[in-house]
């Protein structure tokens, strides 16, 4: 994604959801309820101290930022305390990372085919066994609220 696209996406998402949405920055500490979107052409990862990291390493699956890269960092840093959602998209980016998260004990959700504009990414995750649950888009947020503990301690 280009940085220009990301700027517009952050703005649109910010008016569409009931949470603050920001473009991720390097070395920022995550806070509950704040959505961080990777900047254009940079990978985003999160460490066990809830600190973001941006880098320009090689694209994965022809993608930078890569959902696989982010999901792998969440799997290794948080294991079963993490959750991952893979939405509509072309290609397979995110499928391997979602599987890593599931194997680490995280709750993982893939968007179903009917509600997906392009079923590539979630479809591949489902085929690989990376999705704990497959749901239509409008049921994902309610399911996360239901599946996750009501209160989680933030390290």
> Which pLDDT tens digit goes with each residue over 43-87?
999 999 999 999 999 999 899 999 999 999 999 999 999 999 999
Question: Which of 10-14, 88-92, 138-142, 145-149 is the least confident region?
Answer: 145-149
Q: 148 is written with which tokens?
A: 């996750």
Give me the percent of the chain exceeding a pLDDT of 90.
83
Instruction: Quote the pLDDT of residue 149.
Output: 61
pLDDT in tens, 126-153: 999 999 999 999 999 888 888 766 544 4
Place of tokens 């704040």: 34
* Domains defined for the chain, CATH in brackets: 1-57 (no CATH), 65-137 (3.40.50.180)
Contact status, residue 75 vs residue 106, Cβ threshold 8 Å:
yes
**Rounded to an integer, what distance in angstroms lies between the CA atom of residue 75 and that of residue 18?**
26
């Amino acid at each position: 994604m280009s940085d220009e696209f990301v700027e517009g996406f952050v703005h649109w998402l910010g008016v569409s959801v009931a949470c603050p949405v920001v473009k991720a920055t390097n070395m920022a500490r995550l806070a509950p309820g704040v959505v961080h979107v990777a900047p254009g052409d940079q990978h985003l990862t999160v460490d066990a101290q809830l600190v973001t990291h941006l880098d320009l390493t090689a694209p994965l699956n022809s993608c930078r930022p890569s959902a696989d890269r982010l999901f792998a960092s969440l799997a290794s840093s948080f294991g079963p305390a993490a959750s991952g959602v893979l939405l509509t998209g072309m290609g397979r980016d995110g499928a391997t990372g979602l599987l890593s998260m599931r194997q680490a004990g995280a709750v993982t959700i893939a968007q179903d085919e009917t509600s997906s504009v392009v079923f590539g990414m979630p479809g591949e995750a489902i085929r690989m066994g990376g999705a704990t649950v497959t749901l239509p888009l409008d049921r994902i947020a309610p399911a996360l609220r239901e599946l996750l503990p009501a209160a989680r301690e933030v390290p």
